[in-house]
Amino acid sequence: MAMHYANKRRLGFYVDLHGHMNKRGVFAFGNALDGDEAAYTRAYARLCSLNTPHFDVHACNFTEKNMRTEDKNGQTKEGSGRVALHAKTGLPHLYTVEASYVSSRLLARVPPASGDDGRASPPSRSLHPVKYTPEVLNDVGRALMIAALDLQGEGANPWSRVPGSEYGSLEGLLGWARSAARGDAGKRGDVTVAVSKKWRTVKSKVMEFTGK
């Protein structure tokens, strides 16, 4: 079905919902992308955490390593829906969302909604972990949908929480997301950079010692 809509250019988001017991909280895995596509996937994750306190943006993973990792049975995530769909379609918004069966790891601060006249769910300031109930997971599912709406830009969500956040606007949030994406990309080269700097230092010391 996903490929049917992808071929018709009507597939905007694919979210594969999983349950787990190994880690607490709700978080997402996305594919390793470049440029603005990498920024927009991180922006989506941050928008999810602006719309529910139960989504842990800091536990999300968008690395290529995570796309290739083998589980205890020797199977890689290359067979997962999001990775396989990306290989076939190249679409950016393909996610695996993992939700604990038990409880949260921490809670995010949720800003107030704008223009809702008090009809939207109130902002959340509590950071204490909670045990998960059907109501909590329903709240997460609602946030996944609202975040997709927020990502469409100003006016798409009349009750958006983005204006009340530290970013003030979608463009402000995208600025954070671009910085986060560059940080993740830089991590891939940290070892090479460190070795290079160490080699230059050693070479300099040798040249001083030999008088060259």
Measured CA to CA in angstroms, residue 145 lies from 51, 62, 77, 102 at distances of 10, 20, 24, 23
Q: Are 105 and 56 in contact (CB under 8 A)?
A: yes
Q: Are 63 and 77 in contact (CB under 8 A)?
A: no
Q: Give the list of residues 6+ apart from residue 48 with CB closer than 8 angstroms, or none.
A: 28, 55, 57, 140, 143, 144, 147
Q: Are 87 and 79 in contact (CB under 8 A)?
A: no
User: Which residues are the active-site residues?
Assistant: 98
Tokens read off for 142: 């609602």
Q: Which of 157, 99, 106, 100 is nearest to 129 (CA)?
A: 106
Q: Are 106 and 54 in contact (CB under 8 A)?
A: no
